[in-house]
Chain A
Amino acid sequence: MNKNFKKTELTEKVIDKVKSGQIKMKSKMHFILKTTLFFLITSFTALFVVFLISFIIFILKANGVWFLPGFGFKIIGTFFISLPWILILIAIALIIVLELLVKNFSFAYRRPIFYSILIIIMFVALGSFAIEKTKMHNDLFLKAKEGKLSIAGKFYRGLEKSKSPYMHKGIILEVIDDGFYLKTFNGEILAIIIDSETKLPLDRGIDNNDQVIILGERNNNEVKAINIRMIDYQKKSNNLKMK
């Protein structure tokens, strides 16, 4: 009896609050807008992560760091130091945010996090590489150089400055007997010395106008090359021209 009384009492209390207007139902539109906003935020975050990672790949290729692992295990430390860690950490943080957002959808939370993380990483990786294959970043880079890109412009404009003191990239001006002259993307002329210990591209020789990355210690305007690699990436576009 007591239980029944309590049951009625609770129902009465709730209905009284409804009737008196103390509690009001949120409209359907409120939830439609909320869901739409949530969906847009999730989509925007996903697209931004894809853009950011493709930008990181673009930076790494443009400043040559991308090619460093190919020079051998010895310079792996240089490779890690040269990575754009702030951007990488932002990308990781955004992937975590994306995972938290996606976890609100039943298709994601009903399965272990492992799967949703895996799908996000695959989506981001495929999307980033697909964008990176387009000329989008090159075009944005050009706009940044012309001062037409305000917000992200400074990120693009800083690209040509290499961080690694052992890495020099540019275009071969003239091949000489013991090496060649290199015009770097910063506009400097360096004499690159090649000896028997220098590792050269295996598939082809080097020639004038080749875009290359040289690994080696600089001494004034001379660099004793340890390793030389071609930059095929930058040949795809004529946009990255020498100053």
Chain B
Amino acid sequence: MSNSKIKLTDEDIARIVQKGKSESFGLLVERYEAKIIRYAKRFLFNHNDVEDLAQEIFIKAYVNIQSFDTSRKFSPWIYRIAHNEFINSIKKKAKEPLPLFDLDIIFPSLISKEKVENEIDRKELNKMLDKCLNKLNSKYREPLILRYFEELDYKEIADILRIPVSTVGIRLKRGKEKMKLFCKKIDYYE
């Protein structure tokens, strides 16, 4: 029984919940709890109520589960709810400024191709992200988390943040550049 449950995709479980088996929602909570808490801790590094926020995210996901289109992937959908919740939390606490207007989302850009790093680059990048991520503005921090920790593709990140796919590419590129600068400042390379 347990094995057959594991084989179910997130979308299958969501479909079962939509049909009325509410307790199956627990499976989705179990699958995403660690991911959402990790996302929250990395994005809201200075907040100490991430567990409460995670609970709120799952409650909202349950309340709105009928709006989820099971022909699409579940992860961007729940990350979108999480993103909204985090942004609201940042706004409420006013701990850091949020960008109101961004030229990146207005004009087309050539930096839109999805880049695949090799294993060494990736490991190095993850180490840098661990050390220097909190130095970055939320605008750059969030795409980096979603790309390098949650391993989502550009289109999924675009769906979560509701920004153009090309802007995801720009923010990742600039975010990495800024992060390298910060890492240099704190003598990360030594």
Q: Are A112 and B23 in contact (CB under 8 A)?
A: no
Asked if B82 CB lies within 8 Å of chain A CBs, one says no
- The segment from B64-72, B84-92, B133-141 found at the interface with A is B64-72
Alpha-carbon distance between A45 and B117 when the two chains are bound, in angstroms: 45
Nearest A residue (CB) for B102: A113
Asked if B163 CB lies within 8 Å of chain A CBs, one says yes
Set of chain A residues within 8 Å of B75, measured between Cβ atoms = none
Nearest B residue (CB) for A35: B67
Nearest A residue (CB) for B68: A31
- Of the residues B29, B159, B164, contact of A11 by C-beta under 8 Å: B29
Set of chain A residues within 8 Å of B46, measured between Cβ atoms = none
Asked if A133 CB lies within 8 Å of chain B CBs, one says no
Q: Are B33 and A18 in contact (CB under 8 A)?
A: no
- Of the residues A11, A23, A106, A109, contact of B33 by C-beta under 8 Å: A11
Q: Are B165 and A10 in contact (CB under 8 A)?
A: no
Report which residue of A7, A10, A31 has the largest number of chain B beta carbons within 10 angstroms of its beta carbon. A10
Q: Are A7 and B23 in contact (CB under 8 A)?
A: no
Q: Are B63 and A10 in contact (CB under 8 A)?
A: no
Alpha-carbon distance between A109 and B163 when the two chains are bound, in angstroms: 6
- Of the residues B22, B54, B62, B67, contact of A31 by C-beta under 8 Å: B67
Asked if A114 CB lies within 8 Å of chain B CBs, one says yes
Q: Are A110 and B55 in contact (CB under 8 A)?
A: no
Q: Interface on chain B toward A: helix, strand, loop, or mixed SS?
A: helix
Nearest B residue (CB) for A9: B51
Set of chain B residues within 8 Å of A14, measured between Cβ atoms = 25-26, 29, 55, 58-59, 62
Asked if A24 CB lies within 8 Å of chain B CBs, one says yes
Report which residue of A11, A17, A28, A112 has the largest number of chain B beta carbons within 10 angstroms of its beta carbon. A112
Set of chain B residues within 8 Å of A243, measured between Cβ atoms = none
Set of chain A residues within 8 Å of B189, measured between Cβ atoms = none
Task: Tell me whether A112 and B107 are in contact in the complex, defined as CB-CB below 8 angstroms, given that A6-B51, A15-B23, A23-B63 are known contacts.
Answer: yes
Tell me the minimal C-beta distance from B148 to chain A in angstroms: 21
Set of chain A residues within 8 Å of B108, measured between Cβ atoms = 111-112, 114-115
Set of chain A residues within 8 Å of B51, measured between Cβ atoms = 6, 10
Alpha-carbon distance between A72 and B2 when the two chains are bound, in angstroms: 82
Q: Are B158 and A109 in contact (CB under 8 A)?
A: yes
Set of chain A residues within 8 Å of B25, measured between Cβ atoms = 14-15, 18
Asked if A26 CB lies within 8 Å of chain B CBs, one says yes
Q: Are A19 and B30 in contact (CB under 8 A)?
A: no
Q: Are A112 and B164 in contact (CB under 8 A)?
A: yes
Set of chain A residues within 8 Å of B158, measured between Cβ atoms = 109-110
Set of chain A residues within 8 Å of B166, measured between Cβ atoms = 111-112
Q: Are A103 and B162 in contact (CB under 8 A)?
A: yes
Asked if B105 CB lies within 8 Å of chain A CBs, one says yes
Alpha-carbon distance between A15 and B109 when the two chains are bound, in angstroms: 45
Nearest A residue (CB) for B17: A25
Q: Are B34 and A7 in contact (CB under 8 A)?
A: yes
Asked if B106 CB lies within 8 Å of chain A CBs, one says yes
Q: Are B22 and A25 in contact (CB under 8 A)?
A: yes
Alpha-carbon distance between A181 and B120 when the two chains are bound, in angstroms: 88
- Of the residues A11, A13, A27, A113, contact of B105 by C-beta under 8 Å: A113
Task: Tell me whether A28 and B107 are in contact in the complex, defined as CB-CB below 8 angstroms, given that A6-B51, A7-B30, A14-B25 are known contacts.
Answer: no
Contacts A/B (CB < 8 Å), 27 sampled? A7-B33, A10-B33, A10-B54, A10-B55, A11-B26, A11-B29, A11-B30, A14-B29, A14-B55, A14-B59, A15-B23, A17-B59, A18-B25, A18-B62, A19-B23, A25-B17, A25-B62, A106-B159, A109-B163, A109-B164, A110-B159, A110-B165, A111-B164, A111-B165, A112-B107, A113-B106, A115-B108
Extra 14 A-B pairs, beta carbons < 8 Å, given A11-B30, A31-B64, A110-B155: A15-B23, A15-B25, A18-B23, A24-B63, A26-B64, A27-B66, A31-B66, A106-B159, A109-B163, A109-B164, A111-B108, A111-B165, A111-B166, A115-B108
